[in-house]
Amino acid sequence: MTIRVAHLYPEYLNIYADRGNIAVLTNRARWRGLALEVEPISLGDELRPGAHDLLYIGGGQDREQALIAPDLAARAGTIAEAVADGAAVLAVCGGYQLLGRFYRGRDGEELPGAGLFPLETEAGERRMIGDCLLECELEPGVRQTIAGFENHAGVTRLDEGAEPFGRVVAGFGNDGESGFEGARVASAVGTYLHGPLLPRNPWLADWLLARALEHAGESPELDPLPDDLEHQAQVVSAERARSRGGRS
């Protein structure tokens, strides 16, 4: 069984070790006897409809975002179809912003987004940086925490009624005031948190793998892993977020 992953613009959107997220997905799949095949999809490459169980897009600076935004926006239909068909998506920071309707930078230039997430982002005056702790409920009644690190000037506003990825316990989140972080549409998750994100939040890696397996027509049941180190990493970084919070 092979889980097919599309890694969008890996040579442009790759800051803050976002590639570490791919390493976590690869290994957690391998430890369950599953293979993960990662196909880089960059400017001009074809994103074949239905060809991937999981799409990943990482973070990047405004300059890199500007280089890929029109190409990504042109894939809006394919991405929306993939999500409607049950494919999983993880979008981090700059990639998260560009899966909204638009990102308006400091210079006022508006980068088009792919419009998967019902939100808009504008660059603000301050940089929201620091450890961040969230409470998430991706499955009804199952509360989980996410510990990560955020670093963005973009202020993201969700449309009325849109579902955030989580609620901010410590840190800034989307805009520093709503208490919302990230966005979620079906099996697609967008978030500002990197660090990278998945090594210290293995439950999220497994949730994404399970959704990808379902998309591939397989059972989403994954054997549990010991996760001692991963758990310790989460505890340490959650404590840091609680004691220091975010700093502008």
Least CB distance to ligand GLN at residue 15 (A) = 6
Whether the CB-CB separation of 12 and 60 falls below 8 Å is answered with yes
Q: Distance (Å, rounded) from C-alpha 172 to C-alpha 174?
A: 7
Task: Tell me whether strands 88-92 and 188-191 are parallel, antiparallel or unpaired.
Answer: parallel
Q: Which stretch binds ligand GLN (CB under 6 A): 66-74, 92-100, 139-147, 157-165?
A: 92-100
Cα–Cα distance, 114 to 133 (Å, whole number)? 27
Does residue 60 interact with ligand GLN by CB under 6 A? yes
Which of 52, 93, 152, 215 does the annotation list as catalytic? 93
Per-residue interface string for the shown chain with ligand GLN, residues 143-162, x marking contact by CB under 6 A: --------xxxx--------
Query: Is residue 62 a contact residue for ligand GLN (CB under 6 A)?
Result: yes
Q: What's the Cα-to-Cα distance from 191 to each of 98, 109, 174, 232, 246, rounded to whole Å?
A: 11, 23, 8, 22, 16
Which of 79, 93, 147, 238 binds ligand GLN (CB under 6 A)? It is 93
The answer to whether residues 129 and 59 touch, using CB atoms and an 8 Å cutoff, is no
Site for ligand GLN in 94-153 (CB under 6 A): 94, 97, 151-153
3-class DSSP assignment, residue 169: strand
Question: Rounded distance, CA 212 to CA 170, Å?
Answer: 30
Do 165 and 190 contact (CB within 8 A), yes or no?
yes
Is residue 231 flagged as an active site residue?
no
Q: Which span (37-45, 77-85, 93-101, 132-140) binds ligand GLN, by CB under 6 A?
A: 93-101
Rule CB under 6 A: say whether 61 interacts with ligand GLN: yes
- The yes or no reply on residue 190 touching ligand GLN (CB under 6 A) is no
Return d(Cα 134, Cα 237) in angstroms, integer: 12
Residue written as tokens 């967008």?
Answer: 190
Where does this chain touch ligand GLN (CB under 6 A) — which range of 59-67, 172-180, 204-212, 231-239? 59-67
**Residue positions annotated with a catalytic role:** 93, 194
Interface residues with ligand GLN (CB under 6 A) are 15, 59-62, 65, 93-94, 97, 151-154
